[in-house]
A and B are shown apart, each in its own frame.
Chain A
């Protein structure tokens, strides 16, 4: 017999707090699609995705209805194309992106990830072909997401790749200048990329993963914020230790929902269940914001002094609750701070509380990094590379994932607004200090060696 409280509190989480499953992502290996002939490869890819993911949306909707918990996003992540299509040319890579885009449309999903390369230690011919194709591929398609791992704790930072990404980001922005450089919103540069991220734009299926697997991203920050608000209202004297406990318990609940639904979807699709990603992912809706949690914790705005400490508390409590709720935790697992995708964070950046330096500091205690940050359109490739290199260094030294999703908005300057639409939201373009002072360092190239793993301080 269930108690009234159990039933009513669940309903309140659903109706007022955006309790949902944020994403169910079906990972599909493309290694058995390999063919010398690019047309045959593309046809193999299309057939395999449709065979495995053709009923993904329908099944997610059915399971969501059965439990009364919506599955907001259904997505597909494939093997890194630079590996699966290693022998193909850059032009072929663009055609592969189109095939992925068309196939995603055919099965009714909004994003497909895996137009990816892993180049932390160097480039293969496939990596170079893919990277050359990225700007065109992302601006010519609407659903394809790309990720490039340029650094790892074990390999160091491939600064040639970092510089190249600076140039690629500028070119991708230019090719999509009519929509504020939206192609860059589908491109993540990573350090220590996990193999099982369900969230876009970083999702791809790692080479150590099974042929097909379901990974789940749990519900967003609205539930956590309301839990904190409720607790503080009923007990105004709660301290940060007690509030951390509230966040932990809430993370437990949303993780259990994610795993329950993910496992059922995996069962119905006949593929194994992979991991739950314990990330608080916001949307550009009021009440579904990571930024609002900081206000619930007593800060006037995200970005003011105390923000990094509050984020550390939040991130850790979410992981603790989630890790107890599920035995298979993976992906990014941490609070996201995507500037344009979170209404509250976007406003804080617009009002000057959040600078790029503060955002960078925050990424040292959370996932995933400088995310959906709109930069002035004239930011040079070298400056973009410098920002990426700093972000990668935080990940490499701290043995964690970090990423940069930067959008130099063509024709716009700091303080102007950029709009990307839908879940990608919009943001005020942030000031980048230092003029063009990174060029000398970035131009040196090479690989920053992997850090020493003792003498940690």
Chain B
């Protein structure tokens, strides 16, 4: 059994997941993980599936393209590596939230700093709708911060970067959100 990762991209409409999963079923592939999201009008889906030994990746990709191209969707298929490209250090989960006027380079500015400290983004939701309401321009990063880095230096650097970008930023341990909102 090999594992493949398939990403599907294109304008959202009913039937996309059905088309992908039908093709995978026809090729006797077992879906292990699926995640999909819709940004504005666009659909993006990622599938991890195990492929039987008698099935080739080319034939699977061919089947997917035949099913999805008529729907205006693009497909990317890659075999998954056995060994992970990166080993996660011990981390603690935090949430970074920014609010402030939209401008070029906000995401790049924050994520560049995170990368420099080895902070891994586990979930990101950024919405820039403009307008005078600052709550219309928010970025919410869920991140894993390595335990071994200098936390106060990271916090200071993040705040300085946010100041340069004109953003109001907060960095809070994830547990506080769970404590407040979840029973």
Contacts and interface: CB of A to CB of B under 8 A. Distances in A.
A67 B172 contact: yes
B172 A4 contact: no
B2 interface: no
B181 to A, nearest CB: 4
A7 interface: yes
Contacts of B135: 8
B170 A11 contact: yes
Contacts of B176: 10, 67-69, 257, 260
A66 B179 CA distance: 14
A67 B97 CA distance: 13
Contacts of B171: 68
A6 interface: yes
Contact of B138 (A8, A68, A253, A259): A8
Nearest to B138: A8
A311 B145 CA distance: 45
Interface string A1-14: 11010111111001
B177 A257 contact: no
B72 to A, nearest CB: 29
A431 interface: no
Interface residues of B, number: 23
Interface in B25-68: none
A6 B178 CA distance: 9
Contacts of A10: 172, 176-177, 180-181
A256 B170 contact: no
Interface string B93-106: 00101010000000
Contacts of B173: 66-68
Contacts of B123: 1-2
B161 interface: no
B97 A11 contact: yes
A8 B176 CA distance: 13
Contacts of A14: 170
A380 B143 CA distance: 63
Contacts of A11: 97, 99, 170
B91 interface: no
B36 to A, nearest CB: 13
A285 B174 CA distance: 29
Interface string B152-183: 00010000000000000011111111111100
A7 B95 contact: yes
A257 B171 CA distance: 16
Nearest to B178: A2
Interface residue SS majority, chain A: helix
Nearest to A11: B97
A257 B180 contact: yes
Contacts of A256: 179-180
A69 B127 CA distance: 25
B142 interface: yes
B172 A68 contact: yes
A51 to B, nearest CB: 26
Contact of B142 (A1, A8, A65, A259): A1
B140 interface: yes
B125 interface: yes
A67 B175 contact: yes
Contacts of A2: 95, 123, 140, 142, 174, 177-178, 181
Contacts of B175: 67, 260
Contacts of A9: 181
B140 A4 contact: yes
Interface in A335-390: none
Contacts of A4: 125, 127, 138, 140
A373 to B, nearest CB: 35
Contacts of B172: 10, 66-69
Nearest to B175: A260
21 contacts: A2-B140, A2-B174, A2-B177, A2-B178, A2-B181, A4-B140, A6-B181, A7-B97, A7-B177, A8-B135, A9-B181, A10-B176, A10-B177, A11-B97, A14-B170, A67-B176, A68-B176, A69-B176, A256-B180, A257-B179, A260-B175
Given A7-B140, A256-B180, A260-B175, 19 more contacts: A1-B123, A1-B142, A2-B177, A2-B178, A7-B95, A7-B177, A10-B172, A10-B177, A10-B180, A11-B99, A66-B173, A67-B175, A67-B176, A68-B170, A68-B172, A69-B176, A256-B179, A257-B180, A260-B179
